[in-house]
């Protein structure tokens, strides 16, 4: 793997930490030091290389890398676009945005045909909340422990006091109901006939990989239909193959009014997100193309990345691979946790390549994260749950890499249990 730089000595680590401390965040600098103080300099496929030459298996990245890093299909598309027009005037029509919208809607559920592109996930959620409001759906209902990003609108739906309290007042007219509780949702929707927007993740990611009871999502969709509410599926973490289906909603055949995608959409190369809506839902944005805009929305470079990522996912059957690899990993990790950690792990759960290990002991998830790094694997903590370690491996993981993950996990588990 070429690092593209010859400056890969220990001084890179010190200088980077010092610059973080001076210009970015002392907290981030301290966290970096806690994780061994190494600096990430290069990535390819399932691997990340550090400035000291360590190779780490990337099962983290908050779910971005379904195609792995620098997938050749994505890189080729982006390189070609870089030499043409990476950013467009926005006054003229531009083919890449149109082609990317066509490619994306060819894999979204039937009827979802209209797209607004953005860069980050929260931006796409904002667009969905605004679209709902423009349609008269002004009461925003989201789920306890749900995560939708940290811009003010998205934050109003994100449910963790440590993130929300410093920024109050947030959006008015919001309610949080327990995830998986159909009756609680029905109660709220009855009080807001024709004027609610329900924002929900098919599987809650940052809450610690919470899989809802069977039949929950179809029941939510039925309630939305009954009470004239908008249904927005936040597929930023669950979509694009992560769960072994193109979309989390596909597991139950649920088609929302609006779907939001992000993370994997840019193929791990360019930040891209999208809000995809039915023609009827999109009508207010369709009528006035300036009612909701952003300078870099649909920028050709990101559009090329999205087309490359969608092509790579389809051509390499990454959706099917995520389902198959994830199912095996879940069994193997469950066995490993039971053998090595016993009652210290409350549950290993997940769908596809979104796997959560819920610890029964305070602080254990953090220790496991540190020991996994030591053993050569990058994992995720969970933003809305301190007890759950999350693994989000890429679907390009091969047999050797899968075994590497299990061996490293066993070493980490033994280290924390000793």
Ligand X SMILES: Cc1ncc(COP(=O)(O)O)c(C=O)c1O
List of residues contacting ligand X (CB under 6 A): 62, 120-122, 125, 147-149, 201, 205-206, 234, 236-237, 262
Q: Please identify the residue of the shown chain whose CB is closest to the bound ligand X.
A: 121
What b/e string do you get for 345-362 counting C-beta neighbours within 10 Å, with b at 16 or more? beebbbbbbbbbbbbeee
Rounded least distance, CB 295 to ligand X, Å: 17
In the complex with ligand X, the residue whose CB is nearer, 81 or 392, is: 392
| Inter-CA distances, 324 with 238, 268, 351, Å | 16, 22, 10
Rounded least distance, CB 262 to ligand X, Å: 5
**Which segments of 263-316 does DSSP mark as H helices, in order?**
279-287, 300-315
**In 3D, which of 121, 153, 124, 117 has the Cα closest to residue 296?**
117
In the complex with ligand X, the residue whose CB is nearer, 157 or 310, is: 157
Is there a contact between 154 and 182 (Cβ–Cβ < 8 Å)? no
Rounded least distance, CB 304 to ligand X, Å: 19
**In 3D, which of 309, 285, 287 has the Cα closest to residue 297?**
285
- Distance, CA of 39 to CA of 54 (rounded, Å): 10
In the complex with ligand X, the residue whose CB is nearer, 264 or 303, is: 264
Instruction: Specify the residue for token string 């029964």.
Output: 360
Length of the chain in terms of residues written: 418
In the complex with ligand X, the residue whose CB is nearer, 124 or 301, is: 124
In the complex with ligand X, the residue whose CB is nearer, 234 or 250, is: 234
In the complex with ligand X, the residue whose CB is nearer, 234 or 401, is: 234
Which tokens go with 251? Answer: 């597991």
Rounded least distance, CB 117 to ligand X, Å: 13
Rounded least distance, CB 142 to ligand X, Å: 11
Q: CA 84, 240, 378 angle in degrees (round to 5)?
A: 95
Rounded least distance, CB 263 to ligand X, Å: 7
| Inter-CA distances, 123 with 100, 116, 151, Å | 18, 10, 7
């Amino acid at each position: 793997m070429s690092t593209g730089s010859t400056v890969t000595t220990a001084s890179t680590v010190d200088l980077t930490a010092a610059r973080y401390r001076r210009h970015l965040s002392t907290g981030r600098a301290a966290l970096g030091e806690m994780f061994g103080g190494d600096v990430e300099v290069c990535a390819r496929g399932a691997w990340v290389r550090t400035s000291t030459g360590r190779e780490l298996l990337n099962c983290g990245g908050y779910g971005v890398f379904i195609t792995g890093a620098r997938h050749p299909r994505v890189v080729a598309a982006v390189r070609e676009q870089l030499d043409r027009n990476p950013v467009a005037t926005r006054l003229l029509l531009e083919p890449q945005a149109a082609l990317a919208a066509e490619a994306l809607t060819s894999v979204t559920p039937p009827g979802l045909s209209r797209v607004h592109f953005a860069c980050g996930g929260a931006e796409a959620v904002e667009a969905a909340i605004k679209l709902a409001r423009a349609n008269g759906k002004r009461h925003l209902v989201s789920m306890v422990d749900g995560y939708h990003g940290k811009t003010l609108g998205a934050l109003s739906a994100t449910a963790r006091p440590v993130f929300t309290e410093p920024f109050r007042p947030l959006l008015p007219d919001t309610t949080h109901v327990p995830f998986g509780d159909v009756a609680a949702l029905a109660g709220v929707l009855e009080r807001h006939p024709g004027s609610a927007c329900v924002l929900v993740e098919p599987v809650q990611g940052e809450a610690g990989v919470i899989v809802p009871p069977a039949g929950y999502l179809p029941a939510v969709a039925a309630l939305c239909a009954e009470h004239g509410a908008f249904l927005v599926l936040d597929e930023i973490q669950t979509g694009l193959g992560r769960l072994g289906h193109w979309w989390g909603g596909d597991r139950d055949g649920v088609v929302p009014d609006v779907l939001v995608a992000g993370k994997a959409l840019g193929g791990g190369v360019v930040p891209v997100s999208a809000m995809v809506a039915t023609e009827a839902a999109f009508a207010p944005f369709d009528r006035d193309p300036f009612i909701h805009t952003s300078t870099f929305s649909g920028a050709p470079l990101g559009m090329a990345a999205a087309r490359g990522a969608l092509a790579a996912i389809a051509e390499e059957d990454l959706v099917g691979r995520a389902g198959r690899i994830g199912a095996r990993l879940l069994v193997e990790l469950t066995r490993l946790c039971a053998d090595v950690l016993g009652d210290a792990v409350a549950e290993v759960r997940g769908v596809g390549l979104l796997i959560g290990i819920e610890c029964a002991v305070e602080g254990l998830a953090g220790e496991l994260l540190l020991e996994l790094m030591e053993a050569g694997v990058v994992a995720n903590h969970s933003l809305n749950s301190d007890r759950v370690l999350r693994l989000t491996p890429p679907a390009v993981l091969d047999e050797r890499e899968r075994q590497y993950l299990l061996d490293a996990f066993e070493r980490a588990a033994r280290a924390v249990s000793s």
